[in-house]
Amino acid sequence: MVAVPLAQRGYEVTILDPSERMLAIARERIARAGVDATTRAGFLDDVHAVAPGPYAAICCHAVLLYVDEPRSSLEALRSVARVGTVLSLLEKNRGGLAVRPALEGDYAEARRLLDDPVAAGNLGIPNRSRTLTEWSDLLEETGWRIDSHVGIRLFSDLASDDLSADRYDQLLELEREAGRREPYRSVARLIHVSATAT
């Protein structure tokens, strides 16, 4: 959750989620960190009514992969953004979808994902990956301009949870550098797009 680190840096933060359970978890983390943030219950397409903004920055991380048609959601986000608002969009990368199951030895699933953009992932909930070209078109059509993109979770996706601090720092540096370079960013598990409202 990026809300707490942003609030700790002095940003005014509003969290929107349709799940009361997830909002309760967010409130607990906010209280534990001793920061201020507003929580609102609602769906992304209703953001203009529930949390109208306008906002200087919007984080939409691992949300639109659960939406078959994200155009209306991107339009909704644009409706609460002023010109120049930054959008941080983190989603599944179509080009890297088959990598994790292949490395885990599930070759049949990896082969399927070469042709199918829908996978269940670790949560068991079907979700859709998209290419950078697809995101570029959708964002342009809904009032956003892509400024940059990086790949996320290429080498760290299957890393051990018990890495030493030194090994973790090395992995983080590797991910940051590889995520900026081709061909690595094109086959990373996730794609992070930075866009600006036009």
Q: Give the pLDDT score at 122.
A: 79
| Burial (CB count <10 Å: 0-12, 13-18, 19+), residue 69 | exposed
- What phi-psi label fits residue 17: left (phi over 0), alpha (psi between -120 and 50 degrees) or beta? beta
Q: How many residues does the chain have?
A: 198
Overall average pLDDT of the 30-53 stretch: 96
d(CA 123, CA 34): 30
Residue 193's SS3 state is: strand
Residue 158's SS3 state is: coil
pLDDT at 1 over 90: no
| Domain 43-197 bears CATH identifier 3.30.2420.10 | no
Q: Give the pLDDT score at 113.
A: 98
Overall average pLDDT of the 56-72 stretch: 96
User: Between the CA of residue 11 and those of 37, 55, 174, what are the distances in Å?
Assistant: 9, 11, 29
Residue 86's SS3 state is: strand
Q: Could you report the per-residue pLDDT of 170-181, keeping only the tens digit for each?
A: 999 999 999 999
Which amino acid appears at position 182 of this protein?
E
Q: Percent of the chain at pLDDT above 90?
A: 96
d(CA 183, CA 198): 29
Q: Could you report the per-residue pLDDT of 95-147, keeping only the tens digit for each?
A: 999 999 999 999 999 999 999 999 997 788 999 999 999 999 999 999 999 99
> Which one, of 188, 99, 102, 103, lies nearest residue 152 by Cα?
188
Which amino acid appears at position 66 of this protein?
Y
Q: Could you report the per-residue pLDDT of 6-28, keeping only the tens digit for each?
A: 999 999 999 999 999 999 999 99
For residue 123, what are its two tokens?
Answer: 């949560």
Domain chopping of the chain, boundaries: 43-197
Report yes or no on whether pTM surpasses 0.85.
yes
